[in-house]
Amino acid sequence: MAMGEIFNSKVEGIAAGGAGIVRLGDTPVFVEMTAPGDRVNCRITEEHRGWARAELLEVSEASADRVDPLCAFYGRCGGCRFQHVKYEAQLDAKRAVLCDAFERIGGFSPPSLRLVPSEPWEYRNRMEFHRLGSAGFGLKARKSAEVIPVADCPVADPGIRRVLKKTARGERVLALPPEKDRFTVYARGGVFLGEGGISRGKIRLLDREMHLDAGVFFQSNGTMLEKLIADLRELASGADRRLPMADLFCGVGTFAVFLGELFPHVDLVEENKRALALARENLRGRPAEFFALRDDEWIGARGRGARRGCGFIVADPPRQGLSSGTARRLAAEGPPLLAYVSCDPATLARDAAVLLDGGYRLAELRLYDFYPQTAHIESLSVFKR
């Protein structure tokens, strides 16, 4: 294998991140914009110990899983990775990546996986845009810092699509925050929130109203979030409800709003103080305590009620997963029932191995496809003593 070498091979599958996997001899080579089953001509662009990258030159034989992208900006925009792949094949690829992470990083085979699909288009309620000049905005390019002024985005909520189309026609419909080079908008059910304009508001989620701020993180696929909440509520109802529960990395308190009423008390733990302030609003009047702490600070706290025995914990960490201290303490002292919501298979598998060493078993694994057309993977792991 040498830099610049051109070869023809069949795409065996999809790797984490969305690139196709082909082989040059025994070496795996990652090629973007390919679909499982494609036969491709490609050129080596990067060499590493044990693997390589290549650029796609030509699809010499298209897979049955290859489709035409719906978006005119696909391939230039940095958001989507899978628009050239049938939705069913996208789900198969994500299932394989998640299971592979458990086997390769966690060192064990996960249980049978339940997959929860999404509507593949117009699902995304929350999007981040980048300023382009004094009044324009767009999305980051796929492989550079360039900002692309997109006229439409088929994965976006209809409310966001309307704003994009009007902006492309020259209408000034979106106020941009003057102090920011990038900003966030949220749209759902006729509500539109945006940094620079009306940032705070309320949305309907299942049978509740939630206070949101466009500048504070909130799940970007409301329909899938409702499905996850319903499943978590069913799961939590089987916990020891005489004991309190804890919501780690609680954000604006979404899970606690729906699950907390099942328990006599709920601890909400969130390092982001703006998010925790919204959580206080969303749980006003409920028996709850709020901790503006990192997960390891909360679990190590003494004399503040933070380590009261819990019957149930739900944790929804960022990509970094649990801190090593939190994973170890949960493994040693965690509740009989633990729900781990993950956005990164690698750190999930790492943390799962620690929890299993501490006496848990992975009782259930579910993949919720929050982000069709992208390589992002959201899952729920249910750990039981």
- As annotated, the active-site residues are 343
What is the chain's pLDDT, residue by residue, as a tens digit (385 residues)? 688 899 999 999 999 999 999 999 899 999 999 999 999 999 999 999 999 999 999 999 999 999 999 999 999 999 999 999 999 999 999 999 999 999 999 999 999 999 999 999 999 999 999 999 877 899 999 988 899 999 999 999 999 999 999 999 999 899 899 889 999 999 999 999 999 999 999 999 999 999 999 999 999 999 999 999 999 999 999 999 999 999 999 999 999 999 999 999 999 999 999 999 999 999 999 999 999 999 999 987 744 444 568 999 999 999 999 999 999 999 999 999 999 999 999 999 999 999 999 999 999 999 999 999 999 999 999 999 9
Reduced to 3 states (helix: H, G, I; strand: E, B; else coil), residue 190 is coil
Question: With 0-12 CB in 10 A as exposed, 13-18 as middle and 19+ as buried, what is 165?
Answer: middle
Per-residue CA distances from 15 to 32, 36, 142 (Å):
10, 10, 18
- The reply to whether 89-120+221-384 shares the fold of 6-61 is no
Q: What is the pTM of this model?
A: 0.95
Domain boundaries along the sequence of the chain: 6-61, 89-120+221-384, 126-213
Contact 110, 362 (CB under 8 A): yes
Asked if 346 and 16 count as a contact pair (C-beta separation under 8 A), the reply is: yes
CATH of domain 89-120+221-384: 3.40.50.150
The structural architecture, per CATH, of the domain 6-61 is Beta Barrel (2.40)
Beta-bridge partners for 140: 147
Question: For residue 115, what are the β-bridge partners?
Answer: 367
User: The tokens 């209408």 sit on which residue?
Assistant: 171
Distances (CA, A) of 117 to 74, 217, 342: 22, 22, 16
Dihedral pair phi/psi, residue 266, rounded to 5°: -135, 135
DSSP-derived letter for residue 156 is B
